[in-house]
């Protein structure tokens, strides 16, 4: 059985769910927040593996405004290598 928790790690000073207000939307801000969220997700996964927590529900706030009509930035391609790295880590560690 894999033990874990949903979304928020309270032991690390890092959140993979940072977002911002729609009125402050810019592509530059979006890239900054997504990069931070993906880096924090990597840190959380590494912490979890070291502590034998092999299940984590990833927050739906990982990519702010992903399903909003304002989103025209192709974040899937821009962050493709980061997503591949995270996916590889998850598969490698059997999480």
User: Which pLDDT score, from 0 to 100, does residue 71 have?
Assistant: 92
- Per-residue pLDDT tens listing for the chain (95 residues): 788 888 788 899 999 999 999 999 999 999 999 999 999 999 999 999 999 999 999 999 999 999 999 999 999 999 999 999 999 999 999 99
Task: Confirm if 68 and 22 have CB atoms less than 8 A apart.
Answer: yes
Measured CA distances, 6 to 25, 30, 57, 72 (Å) = 27, 24, 5, 29
Is the torsion defined by CA of 85, 87, 90, 94 positive or negative? negative
pTM score of the predicted model: 0.91
Half-sphere exposure of 6 (CA within 13 A, CB side): 3
Start-to-end C-alpha separation, the chain? 11
Q: Which residues pair with 95 in a beta bridge?
A: none
């Amino acid at each position: 059985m894999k033990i874990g928790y949903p979304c928020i790690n309270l032991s690390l000073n890092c959140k993979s769910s940072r977002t911002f207000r729609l009125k402050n939307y810019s592509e530059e801000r979006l890239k900054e927040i997504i990069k931070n969220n993906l880096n924090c997700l990597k840190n959380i996964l590494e912490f979890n593996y070291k502590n034998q927590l092999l299940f984590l529900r990833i927050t739906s706030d990982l990519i702010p405004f992903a399903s909003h009509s304002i989103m025209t930035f192709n974040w899937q391609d821009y962050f493709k290598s980061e997503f591949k790295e995270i996916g590889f880590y998850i598969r490698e560690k059997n999480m």
